[in-house]
Amino acid sequence: MRPQFHFSPQSGWINDPNGAIRVDGVYHLFYQANPHGLVHGPMHWGHATSTDLANWAEQPIALYPEASGQCFSGSAVLAGDGAVAPEFGAGDGVLLFYTAHRDGPPSIEDQAVAVADRGMTRFAKFAGNPVLPTPGPRDFRDPKVIWHEATQRWIMVVTHGQSIGFYSSPDALNWQFESEFAEGRHDPAPNPGPWECPDLFPMRVQGTGETAWILVVGLGRGHISGGSGTHYFVGDFDGHTFRNRNVADLELFMDWGRDYYAAQSFSGMAGEDPLAIAWMSNWMYANHTPSEGFRGSMNLPRRLQLAGGPEGLRLVQYVDPSAARQFPELAGGVPASAVYRLRHRWVAPAGGRLALALFGEADPVLVVERKGGDRYEVTMLRQAHPAIEVIRGYETHFSFEAVVDGAFDLDVFVDNGLVEIGCAGGRHWVSNLYFPTDPAGTVTITS
């Protein structure tokens, strides 16, 4: 069941992506790792590199837990992207921001920095850590740092429980609080867990000269499909405050499936469509998935665009072409192996219904219905795992107006039971882990 093109560690546990950055043509992916066990444990920063986003070389562990705490999630930036305090001694190297987590009670979380050389072969924690001490015993973690060109300052977004804090710094060392974004979601009913692994980046709106900002938030619990998932907001950011362009209770998801969490965009991608990668699992069962030697993997890296439509500005995503071309196209309904890509364009009559079944199974994994006009409803399904009690069956629905009249596009990536499905030209994605008897079983489309 080990995936071929979704990154997984050679051994041990993996969860959130950290420090995603491209430097001198090499993609560096750091990630939460427990190299000594198959469950979430003392957090290290694992490290892998790639030049094509499909074939990854695992590197030595970059950051280790010690007296200041475990090395929880964070981000990476080139020191040369902005002004940096001389105390770092960074030169043209890389700053890795992470959360130093100390178990309690109560747990304490500080924001800290490690300095790496440009090739990221040497790592040293900053002697002056923490650079942003905890304001108190609370969820205060997962710093994402960017250079904000308009105000010539570094911006850090960090978890504040069920809200996101914004901090600024002229030199990446001295930080001050700017604002907090919560949108009234302190009520634990809809999303009972903390907001985690935030991200912030600007995007051009396709076909216009307009710029909007995307704020990405991981929901530890409370995702529409159950458990953890990834939410995003479209808004404006002036270097001080993020303002949502939509009503507070509108929930936008980067992925509607159960297995897309803690998405992080890569630094070092100026002038290109942003590139994001996520953890392909769910906290409801991540510690219990069937595996030997390793547990967990990343989603395929996706490029992001921002486009208008009947329902407003929405992210459009597509698997990076250098990764997508690694997947052989499915010809006919019987895959040559358990790794393949299926593209299907459905010209949908009013009231039409399409069902996609994988792995030679009778039950579909996805059902699409055209309800009337350009309105489509999508149902995703996964049956319960017969041997793992925590992996229960589920069914989730979402609906939207398609952009292209009378046609519905599917883009399906299957990698040994890991399935990612793009719908309607990439406007909606569904990512799920499956545990099939026959990963290379027959594929059936019924419409």
> Which residues is 234 bridged to in the sheet?
214
Question: How far apart, in whole angstroms, are the C-alpha atoms of residue 328 and residue 339?
Answer: 7
Rounded Cα gap, residues 164 and 197, in angstroms: 10
Beta strands in 238-313 (DSSP E): 242-244, 252-253, 261-265, 275-279, 294-295, 302-307
Q: Which two tokens stand for residue 160?
A: 């504040």
DSSP at 298: B
Burial 126-142, CB ≥16 within 10 A → b, else e: beebbbbebeeeebbbb
- The verdict on whether 16 is a catalytic residue reads yes
CA atoms of 445 and 447, how far apart (whole Å): 7
Cα separation, 97 vs 195, in Å, equals: 18
- Tell me if 260 sits within 8 A of 429, measured CB to CB: yes
Beta-ladder partners of 21: 28, 267
| First-to-last C-alpha distance (Å) of the chain | 30
Is the Cβ–Cβ distance between 317 and 254 less than 8 Å? yes
Active-site pick, 16, 110, 139, 411: 16
Element (H, E) at 408: strand 407-415
Rounded to whole angstroms, the Cα distance separating 311 from 382 reads: 28
Q: Smallest Cα–Cα separation from 252: which of 236, 231, 224?
A: 231
| Cis status of the peptide bond prior to 105, with omega within 30 of 0 | yes
- Cβ atoms within 10 A of the Cβ of 355, count? 17
Strand ranges for 283-393 from DSSP E: 294-295, 302-307, 314-319, 339-347, 353-357, 366-372, 375-382
d(CA 37, CA 14): 10
Is residue 175 a contact partner of residue 168, using CB atoms and an 8 Å limit?
A: yes
Enumerate residues 6+ apart whose C-beta is below 8 A from 329: 340, 341, 342, 343
Identify which of 50, 49, 79, 78 has the alpha carbon closest to the alpha carbon of residue 62. Answer: 49
> Catalytic residues, which ones?
16
